[in-house]
Structure 1
């Protein structure tokens, strides 16, 4: 067995997402299983090199997990060669800092794997995609939700023709993010400042772009209404600040073939559903409700026949009339599954289509959503190319 080590610059691992999902549950989990099997007796061994601005935080994370390499000097790391250099640059920083760092990594000839949104504007996102293509480096964008068990089961139903003609999609995402005064907030304060790249439209519409594309073929138009329901919040130091970014967006998307998707995204909503995100798909032959892990379906032959009667209490057990879609396979962590595909892309050149152009499409939809809300009209979504 031959072990190939790939050194990966991990920028942004002091944040919750970068640390929990990308470092611990992806790369370190790969190491715990003995590396990534490339076939033919070859194993890829990921070697994270932690990058950030706070040396004490990086040192603590490295010590906690027995990692040998961390630095606060991204430039020196990108310029290093041989055993001191890195082959892949990963970025999970705040959005406003991402583009500049990715430009430096592309110029240094590193393969690129980044969180989304890939940039603060469409122009910047397209620039990164063009730079990476011109440099001949491999590049990918995290698009984790299509790897969730519930949505993979939903994809199985779609591919199997369960729905017949799909009529509509209804999505609900979100939860109550505390203001930070009497209970600490679950999200960082920059999320609620537009100057720092915050806002739920910029955060979530890139997710809905790739999810709707993967499942239903894409978005042809968008109508959105944004809101800042909680205009005052308290930051990590307990200081009050004005929330200038949107904390909710209510969007209607036209899909190919005439289906309509409605997705509400909010950090100012209390959860009355089984999971933090759920999508209901209705078709001529059946319906399904998918969340993070579960998917329930109802075929037209098993559809009950309720009758509206406001004078009597409802007695039908509506939730019990749906059938659980079985797993039929073992589902790994979605972030880890996509890391494995990207690392195989880097090591073996296997196809990988979730690239920086795909990331730019997400930024594009978010921009059009914000524009739709500002102008109060539906906006067509043209196809992006480099």
Structure 2
């Protein structure tokens, strides 16, 4: 399926909403955008003019705003990148759709399934591309694993297992992350670290077709780091699923909140002819992957180095910025050529449908079938 081409003989001019000095936009998006020849950063916005101007001066950006509306309306912006807290996505993204501008929005694109469907439909009606930041799919490690599986390294895939930990959902949290404890806002352990990781797994092994689940809040009171203040956690910090993927592949996963001296992340793929084991410090898109494997009768795992040919982003970038750059390189190519390889809001809806089924399975105790 193709989408309208966007740029032809010049870089796409990018406006970044969410460019504060300590935010994800500053940490990952700004250096990523600056490293891509096909993108030109022309505008930034934050909630304060002083901080917007400081970021603009640091990165040589012509326009700085304290209002996202002004950035969206700017004639110097072709593509809008949204990197703010998820509860602000719905309103902002509707404004961008009404302005008729393509968007790349950090995941989760909406706070819930209903919002995400509305946003997908709004951009479809506007006839402009809308991409979402499910970055695990485009990292060099995940693309290499996908090729290994498709090339028969493990034979026919039989099962896959994921174990992960998510620091911000323990018993202590940085004050700036207190909002992550509120289930209604949509930025939760289920949607962010688990959502990114399960999306990466599905991009390699196929979509979830049935799911059973249990969730729990084991630490309902969370202390704000450096203070005696506390907040109530209303979102699960324990998540346990089992089910099936396409072609009958069995899946199990357990994500838990808080720091651990044990397994931060381990993902295992087992097949008729081999095994792949992936470990990382956080979710599958946020830290480097260590990949080990055994195939064709081998009894011992050995390291599988990611070939240099899989790395498209500037290797001098910090890992989180390189991850975003890998995703934005696909976005830029799609906009230039009218292709559709970057995850779109259709993909965001697919992932939200799966997470919604997980919630229903946990709430009802009834296995949910997605196809």
Structure 2 contact 14–39 (Cα < 8 Å) conserved: no
Displacement after TM superposition at 1:211 (Å): 2.0
The aligned counterpart of 2:199 is: 210
The match for 1:119 among 98, 110, 133 is: 110
d(CA) in 1 for partners of 2:126, 2:28: 29
d(CA) in 2 for partners of 1:61, 1:18: 11
The aligned counterpart of 2:285 is: none
d(CA) in 2 for partners of 1:354, 1:217: 15
Displacement after TM superposition at 1:135 (Å): 1.1
Structure 2 contact 169–237 (Cα < 8 Å) conserved: no
d(CA) in 1 for partners of 2:141, 2:17: 30
Q: CA 1:137–1:373 in structure 2 vs 1: closer, same or farther (change >3 Å)? A: same
The gaps in structure 1 that reach 5 residues or longer are 36-43, 304-320
The aligned counterpart of 2:283 is: none
1:1-386 counterparts in 2 under 5 A? 4-14=10-20, 16-24=23-31, 26-30=32-36, 35=37, 44-81=38-75, 85-177=76-168, 185=174, 188-235=177-224, 238=227, 239-273=229-263, 276-291=264-279, 292-303=288-299, 321-330=300-309, 331=311, 332=313, 333-382=322-371
Q: Which has the larger radius of gyration?
A: 1
Displacement after TM superposition at 1:269 (Å): 4.6
Residue 301 of structure 1: SS of its match in structure 2? coil
Moved more, 190-199 or 122-131: 190-199
Structure-1-length-normalised TM-score = 0.82
Structure 1 contact 153–327 (Cα < 8 Å) conserved: yes
Structure 2 contact 170–259 (Cα < 8 Å) conserved: no
Moved more, 337-346 or 51-60: 51-60
Q: CA 1:373–1:89 in structure 2 vs 1: closer, same or farther (change >3 Å)? A: same
Displacement after TM superposition at 1:268 (Å): 2.3
d(CA) in 2 for partners of 1:165, 1:245: 37
Deviations 1:12-59 (Å, cap 9, x if unpaired)?
2335322222112x11222xxxx1xxxxxxxx3412411221333323
Could you say what the CA RMSD is over the residues aligned between the two structures, in angstroms? 2.4
Q: CA 1:353–1:64 in structure 2 vs 1: closer, same or farther (change >3 Å)? A: closer
d(CA) in 2 for partners of 1:233, 1:251: 25
Deviations 1:255-300 (Å, cap 9, x if unpaired)?
1222111122222250424xx4331101110001023322111125
Displacement after TM superposition at 1:198 (Å): 3.6
Structure 2 contact 169–189 (Cα < 8 Å) conserved: no
Structure 1 contact 248–268 (Cα < 8 Å) conserved: no
- Following TM superposition, where does structure 1 have runs of at least 4 consecutive aligned residues deviating by more than 6 angstroms? none
Structure-2-length-normalised TM-score = 0.85
d(CA) in 1 for partners of 2:175, 2:141: 24
Moved more, 55-64 or 68-77: 55-64
Structure 1 contact 297–325 (Cα < 8 Å) conserved: yes
Residue 244 of structure 1: SS of its match in structure 2? coil
Displacement after TM superposition at 1:358 (Å): 0.3
Deviations 1:367-386 (Å, cap 9, x if unpaired)?
2111211112211124xxxx
The aligned counterpart of 1:39 is: none
d(CA) in 2 for partners of 1:185, 1:131: 35
Displacement after TM superposition at 1:188 (Å): 0.8
Q: CA 1:271–1:360 in structure 2 vs 1: closer, same or farther (change >3 Å)? A: farther
The aligned counterpart of 1:316 is: none
The gaps in structure 2 that reach 5 residues or longer are 1-7, 280-287, 314-321
